[in-house]
Structure 1
Amino acid sequence: MGTVALAVTDGMLHFELSLACEVFGADLTGIADPWYRVAVCGSGAVRVGRFRLEPDCGLDELAYADTVIVPGWVDVDEEPPADLVDAVRAAHEAGARVASLCTGAFVLAAAGLLDGRRATTHWAHTEALAARYPLVEVDPDVLYVDDGSVLTSAGKAAAMDLCLHLVRLDHGSAVANRLARRLVVPPHRAGGQAQYVTAPVPAQDDHPLAELFSWAIERLDHALTVEDLARQANMSSRNLGRHFRSAAGTTPLRWLLTQRIRHAQELLETTDDSIDAIAAATGMGTATTLRRHFNRTIGVPPDTYRRTFRSSRFRAR
């Protein structure tokens, strides 16, 4: 967790900056304690949208942060300020985790942090990012990309997805979900990081799958099949697959597996249930099956995940 430094300069987009301040800068010790320490870093007073902002400290302080966040900025046709680029590069070299929100990816690319990496930005600027920085593997179809120490998000609301992802990495799913409820936003949305993202329930009451998503989530302890889902939705398996891809951006089985993994994460964080019991509660059947899918999706075994998030970061409330 530690210090989150927000790197600002003239022309920053106030929406992304405000969003990051709300997630990391608000007093959320009632959700997790300790929370983050936040510093706004810039080279003197800056203009953010229609507002004038006085930073807490200079850009040189980025090198001492644990996480550096670069919000989006307006003028992507111009090269980003050299002092900002140099400070972001120095912070990463010093070991900071660096994340960009929206068009902040242009700053990371100018610093060379995206060379040879997969990255994203606002869909309206993905072609410009790819053309200007050909060493970057630009993915225009995802909400965010996590490449370890360097993370990028798409535009506007996708910045919230990435911020919640960072909270999830640091504090676990239970805390991130509580924060999402406080902010009145979905804890997960469909996107590029399958291990943390789940498809939202369609907002429209008349959507063909509006009731199916909730029905399936309430029955994760059952060995549901595509045929079961299709029967419940009163449609053929092929028709179900077409509607699923349209609404959730994935296949029914992949969506279902993501729900099972997410539920397993929450149970590992918030209960003392055995791995066998969690496997049964999530419809995985056996501990061996749960361990295989969990390790492949999350990158660590369930036991390791529990030690990391329950013992040192989870606070029961």
Structure 2
Amino acid sequence: MHQIGLIVYPGFQVLGLAMCAAFELANSAGDEPLYRMALLSETGGLVQTSAGFAVQTEAFDQRGFDTLLVMGDNLIRPTTPGMLEFLRRASLGTRRLGSICTGANALAEAGLLDGRRATTHWAHVPAFRKAYPNVKVEEDRIFINDGHLWTAAGMSACVDLALALVEMDLGGDVARKVARQLVVYHRRSGGQSQFSVMLELAPKTDRIQAALNYAKQNLKAALTVEELASAANLSPRQFSRVFHAETGQSPAKAIESLRVESARLMMESGRHSIDVVAADTGFGDRERMRRAFIRAFGQPPQVIQRASRG
């Protein structure tokens, strides 16, 4: 029996409780329940969620847990001395210790993430980096496992983390079955800040949308302004003006963003070489792609490729 303790506190983000569904469904994979879950808080009793209702919890004690996970919050709140003491003590005997979203702040404040790789919600990364310079923060990961420590990004990433823990305990077949029951991906490709370029550009007319659709389907081609203008049924001069007015970007910048997004997806979802990715996404050569990645992410493709396999 795997004992899972979810550590909560007043105002914690209620979506974190969604991960319980993954463990609940995994319990149906065997003849007997495989997981037992408990909600823990410093003093026990009712604890209010971010949604306004309260949940019943058990107070911290000396029980042993296989896995302990600190829930996240919409805000960054100070960690109480009692919580820090509990986490430090638990880190000595708990097989897996982890966090969701801003729960990483509690682990970091307890000194448990020093020298470790970790992630948190993308919106809180700058403040986290400043507060905990000894932590190796990777802002574009859904979750990270470093030794016995697991950290996840914000919001729905809690389900991704739960599925990864189920896979570790019970195997890939069970994790895939649970994912299908939850109607989610077993493994999401891409990082937490991977907002679709098409959505970010948000063209207002069908003509510009048509040009972007054409570009996305033909990234391997040169994609000149003349080609895109033809797809939009506009003159090149008119196309450039309308495109910038609707998207706030030049056609060249938008195409580079589409290529970068496509290249990163290829690297994260497969074992393609840098040269193959550069060719298939229209960069032509690895040096041109390297410069585009540094502009977009501040890191070369090799670093992102290694991180996706970590």
Q: CA deviation at 1:97?
A: 0.6
Q: Which residue of 1 aligns with 2:130?
A: 131
Cα distance in 1 between the residues matched to 2:257 and 2:89: 47
Cα distance in 1 between the residues matched to 2:190 and 2:219: 26
Cα distance in 1 between the residues matched to 2:130 and 2:37: 34
Query: Does the 8 A contact of 1:80 with 1:107 survive in 2?
Result: yes
Alignment of 1:4-43 (within 5 A): 4-16=4-16, 18-24=17-23, 26=24, 28-33=26-31, 34-42=33-41, 43=43
Q: CA deviation at 1:191?
A: 4.6
Q: CA deviation at 1:249?
A: 2.4
Query: Does the 8 A contact of 1:244 with 1:250 survive in 2?
Result: no
Q: Which residue of 2 aligns with 1:3?
A: 3
Alignment of 1:213-232 (within 5 A): none
Q: CA deviation at 1:207?
A: 6.5
Q: Which residue of 1 aligns with 2:209?
A: none
SS in 2 for 1:54: strand
Listed one character per residue, the Cα deviations across residues 187-207 of structure 1 (whole Å, up to 9, x for unaligned) are 111257xxxxxxxxx99xx97
Q: Which residue of 2 aligns with 1:75?
A: 75
Cα distance in 2 between the residues matched to 1:119 and 1:169: 19
Residue 236 in 1 paired to residue 237 in 2? no
Q: Which residue of 1 aligns with 2:56?
A: 54
Does the C-alpha gap of structure 1 residues 237 and 147 become closer, same or farther in structure 2, counting only changes over 3 Å? farther
Q: CA deviation at 1:243?
A: 5.6
Alignment-mate amino acid for residue 12 of structure 2: M
Does the C-alpha gap of structure 1 residues 242 and 67 become closer, same or farther in structure 2, counting only changes over 3 Å? same
Cα distance in 1 between the residues matched to 2:219 and 2:25: 48
Listed one character per residue, the Cα deviations across residues 193-247 of structure 1 (whole Å, up to 9, x for unaligned) are xxxxxxxxx99xx97899xxxxxxxxxxxxxxxxxxxxxx7763888x9867524
Cα distance in 2 between the residues matched to 1:115 and 1:100: 15
TM-score, length-normalised on structure 2?
0.63
Q: Which residue of 2 aligns with 1:108?
A: 107
Residue 255 in 1 paired to residue 255 in 2? no
Query: Does the 8 A contact of 1:32 with 1:175 survive in 2?
Result: no
Does the C-alpha gap of structure 1 residues 29 and 245 become closer, same or farther in structure 2, counting only changes over 3 Å? same
TM-score, length-normalised on structure 1?
0.61
Cα distance in 2 between the residues matched to 1:31 and 1:238: 51
The percentage of aligned residue pairs carrying the same residue is 34
Listed one character per residue, the Cα deviations across residues 119-173 of structure 1 (whole Å, up to 9, x for unaligned) are 1101110111111111111111111111020011111122211111111111111
Cα distance in 1 between the residues matched to 2:147 and 2:261: 30
Does the C-alpha gap of structure 1 residues 136 and 256 become closer, same or farther in structure 2, counting only changes over 3 Å? closer
Q: CA deviation at 1:108?
A: 0.8
Does the C-alpha gap of structure 1 residues 237 and 174 become closer, same or farther in structure 2, counting only changes over 3 Å? farther
Cα distance in 2 between the residues matched to 1:22 and 1:103: 21
Alignment-mate amino acid for residue 51 of structure 1: F
Listed one character per residue, the Cα deviations across residues 9-41 of structure 1 (whole Å, up to 9, x for unaligned) are 11211111x2122222x2543324542111111
Query: Does the 8 A contact of 1:245 with 1:251 survive in 2?
Result: no
Q: Which residue of 2 aligns with 1:119?
A: 118
Cα distance in 1 between the residues matched to 2:219 and 2:112: 47
Cα distance in 2 between the residues matched to 1:146 and 1:250: 21
Query: Does the 8 A contact of 1:41 with 1:59 survive in 2?
Result: yes
Alignment-mate amino acid for residue 249 of structure 1: R
Q: Which residue of 2 aligns with 1:178?
A: 177
Query: Does the 8 A contact of 1:244 with 1:251 survive in 2?
Result: no
Cα distance in 2 between the residues matched to 1:238 and 1:114: 45
SS in 2 for 1:249: helix
Q: CA RMSD in A?
A: 3.4
Unaligned runs of 5+ in 1: 193-201, 211-232, 259-296, 300-317
Cα distance in 2 between the residues matched to 1:88 and 1:166: 19
Cα distance in 1 between the residues matched to 2:39 and 2:148: 20
Alignment-mate amino acid for residue 121 of structure 2: H
Listed one character per residue, the Cα deviations across residues 270-315 of structure 1 (whole Å, up to 9, x for unaligned) are xxxxxxxxxxxxxxxxxxxxxxxxxxx999xxxxxxxxxxxxxxxx
Does the C-alpha gap of structure 1 residues 208 and 249 become closer, same or farther in structure 2, counting only changes over 3 Å? farther
Does the C-alpha gap of structure 1 residues 244 and 105 become closer, same or farther in structure 2, counting only changes over 3 Å? same
Query: Does the 8 A contact of 2:25 with 2:178 survive in 1?
Result: no
Cα distance in 1 between the residues matched to 2:107 and 2:219: 47
Give structure 1 regions of 4+ aligned residues with deviation exceeding 6 angstroms. 206-210
Query: Does the 8 A contact of 2:70 with 2:103 survive in 1?
Result: yes
